[in-house]
Amino acid sequence: MELAEAKEKIVEALTKKAKSKSKFYFNDLSKILELKPREAKKLVNKLVEDGVLEYWSSGSTTMYGLSGTGKQAGAEHED
């Protein structure tokens, strides 16, 4: 899959759900991309590097979200 296609799929799927939640597990992303985890990882890494996605970490678990979305930034005083 090309990066542009991956980006489109991810942005579309995450935007659709943005009303209820802004953070997603890696598994959710590989399902959106319909790829095996290792393949999905390469694209997801690139999307993080391009600033499309950003991480959110509980310390023990990591989640992904569209950069700048969600309520966390406000709650964590990082907005």
Partner 1 sequence: MAFISSGYNPDKPMENRISDLGPQHYEQFYPEVIKKNKGKWLYHEILKPGVLVHVSETGDEVYTVRCGGARLMSSTLIREICEIADKHCDSCLRFTTRNNIEFMVDSKDKVDLLVKDLESRKFDGGSFKFPIGGTGAGISNIVHTQGWIHCHTPATDASGTVKATMDEVFSDFQDMRMPAHLRISMACCLNMCGAVHCSDIAILGYHRKPPLVDHEYLDKMCEVPLAIAACPTAALKPTKIEMEDGTKLNSIAVNESRCMFCGNCYTMCPSLPLSDKEGDGIVLMVGGKVSNRISAPKFSKVVVSFIPNEMPRWPSMTAQIKNIIEAYAADARKYERLGEWAERIGWERFFDKTGLEFTHHLIDDFRDPAYYTWRQTSNFKF
Partner 2 sequence: MAKHKTPLLDQLESGPWPSFVSDMKQEAAVRAKNEKNIEYQIPQDAVEDLLGVLELSYTDGTTHWKHGGIVGVFGYGGGVIGRYCDQPEMFPGVAHFHTMRVAQPAGKFYKTDFLKNLCDLWDFRGSGLTNMHGSTGDIILLGTTTPQLEEIFYELTHKFNQDLGGSGSNLRTPADCIGEARCEYACYDTQDLCHTLTQEYQDELHRPAFPYKFKFKFDGCPNCCVASIARSDMSFIGTWKDDIRIDQDAVAGYVNGDFPPNGGAHAGRDWGAFDIEKEVVGLCPTECMKYEDGKLEINNKECTRCMHCINVMPRALRPGKEKGCSILCGAKAPILDGAQMGSLLVPFIEVNKEDGYAAIKEVIEAIWDYWMEEGKNRERLGELMKRQGFQKLLEATDIKPVPQHVQEPRTNPYIFWKEEEVEGGWTRDVNEYRKNHLR
Cβ proximity to partner 2: between 11 and 56 the closer is: 56
Show contacts with partner 1 in window 14-73 (CB under 8 A): 20-23, 49, 58-60, 63, 70-72
- 8-43 burial code (b ≥16 CB/10 A, e <16): ebbeebbeeeeeeebbbeeebbbebbebeeeebeeb
Binding to partner 2 by CB under 8 A, coded x per residue (else -) over 14-53, reads -----------xxxx-------xxx-xx--xx--xx----
Query: Contact, 20 vs 10, CB < 8 A?
Result: no
In the complex, least distance from residue 55 CB atom to partner 2, rounded to whole angstroms: 4
Cβ proximity to partner 1: between 13 and 70 the closer is: 70
| Cβ neighbours for 39, distance < 8 A, ≥ 6 positions apart | 1, 30, 33
In the complex, least distance from residue 79 CB atom to partner 1, rounded to whole angstroms: 12
